[in-house]
Structure 1
Amino acid sequence: MNSELNVDQAMLVNAWQERLSTILKPGDRAEVAADEGDANAIRIHIGAAGRQEYSFDFQCTYVDSREVKVELVDVERDGATTDERNENIQGMVGDYTRHIHECAQALQQITHH
């Protein structure tokens, strides 16, 4: 039986902010925020290291206390929306999605009681 997420959203955001920074590559910046429309979701904004100024927005929704669904919301380059079908971007999205899942696993001690 799946257990529901029973953690204060603000506490969750803080835990994600701390942990995700340690999982991402040096130079990448992560900002985590509560999803205003869904108490079981957080928004993750990742600014990629490097000269290209890519940034990625993900929605991370807790399906239950152990599993998250990660969706890419937007990719920008220099502040303008860009085509996420580009192979390089697809690779980065794959990496970040893995990092987000890794972070969710690492945080199971607070999400899964």
Structure 2
Amino acid sequence: MSRTETLQLAGSALAEAWERTMPIVLSQSDHAEVRADEAQENVLRVHIATAGHSNYSFDFKCTYVDSREVQVELIDVECDGVSVDERTNTIQTLADDYVRHIHECAQQLHAVTSG
């Protein structure tokens, strides 16, 4: 596909498609919330709460570069509602895993985002 393909679905409709697809690519016990960015139609805000007793939550900014490719940026990590050091091995491993899941979700939605 051409890198010049433009995003055909944006804003809240895109966020709703992600909300339906993220549970498919995440572990069953993890939970994701996806919201459209209010300032940019090609940006989604992804919040993932981890499973188990760790009580970590991750916030990502997901920017569509074109209809297929997303750029993912880790914004914040919290444990029990308190920001934590994002540089620890445990958090980096979890964050990397979630970034892969976010990219996988974008690939699954390519048919929707390319029109």
Query: 2:58 touches 2:77 (CA, 8 Å); kept in 1?
Result: yes
Paired AA for residue 51 in structure 2: A
Equivalent position of 1:89 in the other structure? 91
In structure 2, the gaps of 5 or more residues are none
Question: Aligned residue pairs: how many?
Answer: 113
Match of 1:11 in 2: 13
Q: How do residues 54-69 of structure 1 correspond to structure 2 at under 5 angstroms?
A: 54-69=56-71
Shift of 1:8: 3.6
1:73 paired residue number: 75
| Structure-1 residue corresponding to 2:34 | 32
What are the superposed Cα offsets for residues 39-70 of structure 1, whole Å, 9 maximum, x if unpaired?
10000000000111000000100001111000
Q: Any gaps of 5 or more consecutive residues in structure 1? A: none
RMSD: 0.9
TM-score (norm 2): 0.95
Residue identity over aligned pairs, in percent, reads 50
Distance 2:22 2:65 in 1: 19
Q: Deviation digits for residues 66-113 of structure 1, max 9, x if unmatched?
A: 110000000000100000100010000000000000000000000113
Higher-RCO chain (CA-CA 8 Å, sequence separation at least 6): 2
